[in-house]
A and B are shown apart, each in its own frame.
Chain A
Amino acid sequence: ELKVEQNPLFLSMQEGKNYTIYCNYSTTSDRLYWYRQDPGKSLESLFVLLSNGAVKQEGRLMASLDTKARLSTLHITAAVHDLSATYFCAVEGYGGSQGNLIFGKGTKLSVKP
């Protein structure tokens, strides 16, 4: 059974600081997704990581994927209040076939002035 573990589950940061969210998964998969969810809202796609060593950056967020270690990271640089949200990673189950996204429990990020 594919399991996806995120840590930390809660993260309180000060503005301007850096931090990393970790996403470990238990079986082979070459596709990993990061999403953002604001309270009461749907999911916004942040990154799609398709291969080992993939690195993508958007603004203050950078995501990477190590398929050998079954690990993805979401790095936050110089956090600002607008980044406060819950961040989910997700991996496709069933040996990587399309459709069955297995989500981590999410990391609730709070950025304080």
Chain B
Amino acid sequence: SAVISQKPSRDICQRGTSLTIQCQVDSQVTMMFWYRQQPGQSLTLIATANQGSEATYESGFVIDKFPISRPNLTFSTLTVSNMSPEDSSIYLCSDLGTGERYGYTFGSGTRLTVV
């Protein structure tokens, strides 16, 4: 299955600033996904990123707050904009992995704390 490198692994940011999270996949993948895991909670899908088209956002998430780029088939970024303490979460990217056999592969996650 694919290996996903995600960075930064953690960051502490001031409210009102923005942070860009990067995910690099070791093989070409058509679809990448961004999730948020709030403290002690489960994962919630933010958006789906396809190369060459606009990201598709889930209900409750908007492009102005979470702009996503997908410049090629191995790379994607998620920006958390104008941050507030409520944005403190773990953010994870994923892709489908090697077909259906291995399921979705997740990056190592970015632990964001907004102060």
Contact = CB atoms under 8 A, between A and B. Distances in A.
Interface of A: 31, 33, 35, 40-43, 45, 47-48, 50, 88, 90, 98-106
B31 A99 contact: yes
B103 A45 contact: yes
Nearest to A92: B104
B56 to A, nearest CB: 8
Interface stretch (B13-21, B38-46, B63-71, B75-83): B38-46
Interface residues of B, number: 26
Contacts, number: 54
A11 B109 CA distance: 25
Contacts of A98: 31, 96
A48 B43 contact: no
Contact of B42 (A31, A42, A50, A88): A88
B42 A105 contact: yes
